[in-house]
Chain A
Amino acid sequence: MKASLPNVTLPHLTPAEKKGLQDYWRVYEAHREEITAQVMQMASQHPEFKSIVQNAASQPSAEQQAASYNLQRNAILHDAWEPYLKNMQLQGMVYARTGLSFHAWFEIVGAFRRHILPYLLDAYSKTPQRLLDSMSGVDILIDTAMSVIGNSYLETKEELIREQAEAVRDAIQQKRSEEKFRALLESAPDAVVVVDRMGIIQVVNSQVEKLFGYNRAEIVGQSIEILVPKHLRKRHIKHREEYYIEHPVRPMGIGLELFGLRKNGTEFPVEISLGPLESEEGLLVSAAIRDVTQRKRNEDEIKKLNDDLKQRAAQLEAANKELESFSYSVSHDLRAPLRTIDGFSQALLEDHSEQLPPEARGHLERVRSAAQRMAILIDDLLNLSRITRAPLQLRFINLSAMAQEIAQALRESQPERQAEVSITPGLMVDGDPHLLHIALQNLLSNAWKFTSKQKQAIIEFGQQSRHNKERTFFVRDNGVGFDMAYADKLFGVFQRLHSMSEFPGTGVGLATVQRIINIHGGRIWAESAEGKGATFYFTL
């Protein structure tokens, strides 16, 4: 509502007009009561005024009536228009606010005009000019007053419309933000409870109903402690009251185990985030509650698995240590007797050769070669066990160069052999150079060994194919090959498919290769047929 109304336009009247007005006033004053009664009579039957007139409470008091009368009088008789017209402005405002139509007001004014006319005719019938002037005085008064009232009325109406529009806008806004808030609340993954200063629950979302087993209606208006286990309530009230003083956004109960209480009396572990909410009703606090039963269970499970794993790792480490000390003593103690056997056999051969028949010397040679073979066997086994003990040292290495170097050494070991070794150049891989050297050494030595009876040995090293990231390499020879029926024995320790006299070996080589390829994450397999050569494939 406007604090003040605009200034009113004061009428500029000629002396004749003023005189006419005063003539009207004299007649009105003389017959005020009759005229008022007649107008009131009319108003009491008017559909709009009826209720106002009949309602005693809405009637102006005698004082108000007197004041209004005096204002009109002073305007007409003493030219004091402003107070009168200001009062009319107020009247217009009041009419507009009470909802009376302007049209109805005109009807009342018209009635007044009709009712005063006979009195004017009666008073001034003998002086027609005075009669006309007094009649136009009535019109001047009505025009002046009504134009002020009308303006005020219209302005007020406009004001009202603006106010209503604003109110509607505000209401819509309010509704929207409430809806937004509610949607937000419902879409939250957590159960959200909003409480006031006193800890009374104001709003909850449907997750609260699900989590705690209450209907909304059952807990809104209740103390928040209804959701807290009994033994924790005292502590909760204290913390809650402290929170109102500072109210930061933070998780609740840092370092404390928190629990919720369901309607059915069961407790469950929770995690709670707190945040302040400024509202018209003052500071509210929202609590987002999450059931962490499953998470706790998972944590426990993980902890248990971790403990198991630790225990296993400790066992494994112990086993590894044992293996290490085992291979250490194998390395030391198993070889010593072999040295004695070989050394003293040799001493016998050297020192007592004449006393020994040739057969005995042959036997001693057999003893020596067996001791030496056993030494090689021990070394091979130790190498095999060492492969799994040492951690992988990955480097970017050139397998082709490595194979070339090995093949060169093989050629030099038996320069008399006819052998064609072809190696695809530039095969680069990520791997442990030491271990892959052992693997290639074994595969190429095997190929070299098993082609020894070939007039022209052909040995090949290359890459066969590439599927995604896995690459398949191969070592192929045209040697004696083997029966695929025994293919599954090929990679077992001490498994041999040929007799010692035919092709010597310990039966540890391919087991070692397989272990090396496996710890690189690859696979190894072979294809062959007796007398048709063999191909060993491995992936890296």
Chain B
Amino acid sequence: MENKMILLVEDNPDDEALTIRALKKNNIGNKVVVARDGAEALDFLFFTGAFADRDPRDVPQVILLDLKLPKVDGLEVLRQIRADERTHLLPVVILTSSKEEQDRLKGYSLGANSYVRKPVDFNQFVEAVRQLGLYWLILNEAPPR
């Protein structure tokens, strides 16, 4: 049995808390694993480093990926996810402050499934997370494994 978990890649603890709050407010009870930089996210996905012995039944249903990250940035994380056959079909939603065209363009061209800009207004943020959860956790059929 797989756990429909969410991998949140976010270095800002405030944003982390707000995202988790927004998920809760939308009654999304899935397990959330937080990676605080790009390297940690890759370790989690590829069972390396601190995550070498993690539960293999934890398969992310969706990855919420920030772009500005310490060590390995979000676009590089995305590139490696798409380059590895174990992860290349995972849904990845870029969740970021930036609405710079260059980020959006690079994100989509590297194979991001969505691109969501974190709104400042928390109520709008909750709405955005609601839609994300609805689509990626409930409506979307995960790719065959």
* Chain A residues in the interface with B (C-beta under 8 A): 327-328, 331-333, 335-340, 342-347, 368, 371-372, 374-375, 379
Collect the chain B residues with CB atoms within 8 Å of residue A342's CB: 120-122
CA distance A342 to B118 in the complex (A): 12
Whether the Cβ atoms of A339 and B125 lie closer than 8 Å is yes
Given contacts A339-B118, A372-B120, A375-B120, are A344 and B97 in contact (CB under 8 A)? no
**A332-B68, A338-B120 as given contacts; A343 in contact with B14, CB under 8 Å:** yes
Q: What's the minimum C-beta distance from B75 to chain A, rounded to whole angstroms?
A: 13
Q: Is the CB of B121 within 8 A of A344?
A: no
Shortest distance in angstroms between A326's beta carbon and chain B's nearest beta carbon? 12
Question: What 0/1 readout, one digit per residue, does chain B (84-112) give for beta carbons within 8 Å of chain A?
Answer: 00000000000011111010000000000
Docked CA distance A476–B83 (Å): 56
In the complex, residue of chain B having the shortest beta-carbon distance to the beta carbon of A346 = B122
Select the residue from A328, A336, A372, A374 with max chain B CB neighbours within 10 A: A336
Contact A335 B100 (CB under 8 A): no
Q: Which residue of A lies closest to B19 (CB)?
A: A343
12 contacts between A and B (CB under 8 A): A328-B98, A331-B97, A332-B96, A336-B14, A342-B120, A343-B14, A343-B122, A343-B125, A368-B121, A371-B120, A374-B120, A375-B119
Given A331, A339, A372, which contacts B98 in the complex, CB threshold below 8 Å? Answer: A331
Report, nearest first, the 3 A-B pairs whose CB atoms are least far apart: A375-B120, A340-B14, A346-B122
Does B18 sit at the interface, judged by CB under 8 A?
yes
Q: A331-B99, A332-B98 are contacts. A339–B14 as well, Cβ < 8 Å?
A: yes
A-contacting residues of B (Cβ < 8 Å)? Answer: 12, 14-15, 17-18, 21, 67-68, 96-100, 102, 118-123, 125
| Chain A neighbourhood of B118, CB < 8 A | 335, 339
Contacts of A331 in B (CB 8 A): 97-100
Q: Which residues does chain A contribute within 8 Å of B98, judged by CB atoms?
A: 328, 331-332
Question: Does A335 contact B68, Cβ atoms closer than 8 Å?
Answer: no
CB distance from B139 to the nearest CB of A (A): 26
Q: Output the least CB separation between B23 and chain A (Å).
A: 13
CB distance from B57 to the nearest CB of A (A): 32
User: In the complex, A371 Cα to B119 Cα: how many Å?
Assistant: 11
| Chain B contacts for A368, CB-based, 8 A | 121-122
Q: B18, B68, B100: which contacts A339 (Cβ < 8 A)?
A: B18
**Distance between B78 CB and nearest chain A CB, rounded to angstroms:** 17
Question: Is the beta-carbon distance between B14 and A344 smaller than 8 angstroms?
Answer: yes
Q: How far is the CA of A345 from the CA of B121 in the complex (A)?
A: 10
Of residues B14, B15, B67, B122, which shows the largest number of chain A Cβ atoms within 10 Å of its Cβ?
A: B122
Do the beta carbons of A335 and B120 come within 8 Å of each other?
yes
Tell me which residues across on chain B come within 8 A of A333, comparing CB atoms: 68, 97
Return the contact of B21 from the options A336, A337, A343 (Cβ within 8 A): A343
Chain A nearest CB: distance from B116 CB in Å?
13
Chain A residue with minimal CB distance to B22? A343
Q: Which residue of A lies closest to B12 (CB)?
A: A336
Q: CA separation between A328 and B96, bound complex, in Å? A: 12
Report the minimal beta-carbon distance from A271 to chain B, rounded to whole angstroms. 51
Complex: A445 Cα to B18 Cα, angstroms: 33
Please give, as numbers and ranges, the residues of chain A lying within 8 Å of B18 by CB-CB distance: 339-340, 343-344, 347
Query: CA A337 – CA B13 in complex, angstroms?
Result: 11
State in angstroms the CA–CA spacing of A124 and B12 once bound together.
165
Kindly state the separation between the CA atoms of A345 and B125 in the bound complex, as whole angstroms. 14
A372 and B121 contacting across the interface, CB-CB below 8 Å: yes
With A and B bound together, what is the CA distance between A344 and B122 in angstroms? Answer: 8
**Contact between B14 and A335, CB atoms less than 8 A apart:** no
Which B residues are CB-close (under 8 A) to A327?
100
Smallest CB gap from B120: residue in A:
A375
**B12/A347 in contact, CB under 8 A:** no
Q: Which residue of A lies closest to B14 (CB)?
A: A340
Closest chain A residue, CB of each to CB of B118: A339
Q: How close is B20's CB to chain A, nearest CB, in angstroms?
A: 11
Q: Measured between alpha carbons, how far is A120 from B8 in the docked complex, in Å?
A: 160
Complex CA distance for A339 and B125, rounded to whole angstroms:
9
Distance (whole angstroms) from the CB of B144 to the closest CB of chain A? 36
Further contacts, 6 of them, CB under 8 A, given A331-B98, A343-B17, A375-B120:
A327-B100, A332-B67, A332-B98, A340-B14, A368-B121, A368-B122
Nearest CB on B from A443, distance (A): 24
Please give the distance in Å from B133's CB to the nearest CB on chain A: 17
- Chain A residues, Cβ within 8 Å of B67: 332
Min distance, Cβ B67 to any Cβ of chain A, angstroms: 8
Q: Are B96 and A339 in contact (CB under 8 A)?
A: no
Q: Would you give the shortest CB distance from A114 to chain B, in whole angstroms?
A: 131
**In the complex, what residues of A have CB within 8 A of residue B14's CB?**
336-337, 339-340, 343-344
Q: Are B120 and A328 in contact (CB under 8 A)?
A: no
Bound-state Cα–Cα, A347 to B24, Å: 12
Contact of A332 among B17, B97, B123, B125 (CB under 8 A): B97
User: Complex Cα distance A375/B118, Å?
Assistant: 11
Report the minimal beta-carbon distance from B2 to chain A, rounded to whole angstroms. Answer: 31
